[in-house]
Structure 1
Amino acid sequence: DSQTEWHTVVLWRGFAELAQKYLHKGSLVYIEGRLRTRSWEDKDKVRRFSTEVVGDNLVMLDKRRDDNGSGEGDGNQGDAGYSGDDMSYNSGSGGDNDNLPF
């Protein structure tokens, strides 16, 4: 069984622009990063917590979309993404998904 989970993801540098330009609600994406938990006090003096993923790597898993919004693009974007370590673009030509933990 597949279950959708929603998480708050924080992206910086070119990742934010990349996500804004290419990702839409329902897009399949692989995010690699670290967890960060924040706490604050709300207006009723109740302590609240929020855990978010701070993205270090972003891989778009959907097929590219053409200008009409259909999935009939010019190829699969499977492994294309940016690496936060050096901000170099990964064209997706290699595709080493065998090392993924799932």
Structure 2
Amino acid sequence: MINRVVLTGRLTKDPELKYTQSGVAVASFTVAVDRQYRNQAGEREADFINCVIWRKSAENFVNFTHKGSKVGIDGRLQTRNYENQQGQWVYVTEVVVDSFSLLDSKHDNQNDQQNYGNQGYQKQGGQQGGYQNQGNQQYNNGYQGNNQGQYQGNQQGYQGGQQNTGYMEPDPNQGRPINEDDLPF
């Protein structure tokens, strides 16, 4: 079975960082994702997707993002339920983030530093930081997420969990130029 979610959008408010009773960091946030089509008024509507991120990646996400930040999210869709204080069952659907990328441009980042007191974070050369979660963590109310982080600093986007085995596929042209007549398009 496949359960993958890939989103690009902007944060609707500052991410909220909390800690479980066992001291594990968890941040929740909402990403506004524009739809591809326009409504009758010619405006794009947006979907508001609830997300959660765990451990060190949660702390990094909170430190480097804020309301309006453009982010790329890779994760999985998860549902959970719990009984609230009034005795009613609450059902939650959210994206559990496995990795994220900071997508604001260098110009946007410089403006953020001026507006947010230069918190010491800088992207260089238009590159984006990526962050991956791996592992398993149980959250109260029956919630489980994959959450042990490994920082992928200053890389372009998501690495997808692939491992470099040292094997490179051989070049079928063995360094010769490609004949355009052989291309299927």
The two structures share one fold, judged by TM-score above 0.5: yes
1:37 shift after superposition: 1.1
Report the counterpart of residue 25 of structure 1 in structure 2: 67
1:89 shift after superposition: 1.3
Considering only aligned residues, what root-mean-square deviation do their CA atoms show, in Å?
2.8
For 1:81 and 1:8, how far apart are their aligned partners in 2? 20
Alpha carbons 1:31, 1:59 under 8 Å: kept: yes
1:90 shift after superposition: 4.2
Bigger relative contact order (CA 8 A; separation at least 6): 1
SS in 2 for 1:14: helix
For 2:102 and 2:84, how far apart are their aligned partners in 1? 35
- Which structure is larger by alpha-carbon Rg, 1 or 2? 2
1:3 shift after superposition: 3.0
Query: Which ranges in structure 2 are unaligned for 5 or more consecutive residues?
Result: 1-37, 39-43, 117-122, 135-148, 159-185
1:74 shift after superposition: 4.6
Report the counterpart of residue 84 of structure 1 in structure 2: 133
1:34 shift after superposition: 1.4
1:69 shift after superposition: 3.2
Amino acid at match of 1:87: Q
Deviation sequence 1:3-46 (CA, Å, 0-9, x none):
33222211112211121111111211111111221112344543
Report the counterpart of residue 101 of structure 2 in structure 1: 59
Amino acid at match of 2:150: M
TM-score, length of structure 1 as denominator length: 0.68
Judging changes above 3 Å, is the alpha-carbon distance between structure 1 residues 11 and 3 closer, same or farther for their aligned structure 2 residues? same
SS in 2 for 1:5: strand
Query: Which ranges in structure 1 are unaligned for 5 or more consecutive residues?
Result: 97-102
For 2:102 and 2:81, how far apart are their aligned partners in 1? 30
Q: How many residues were matched structurally?
A: 92
Amino acid at match of 2:90: R
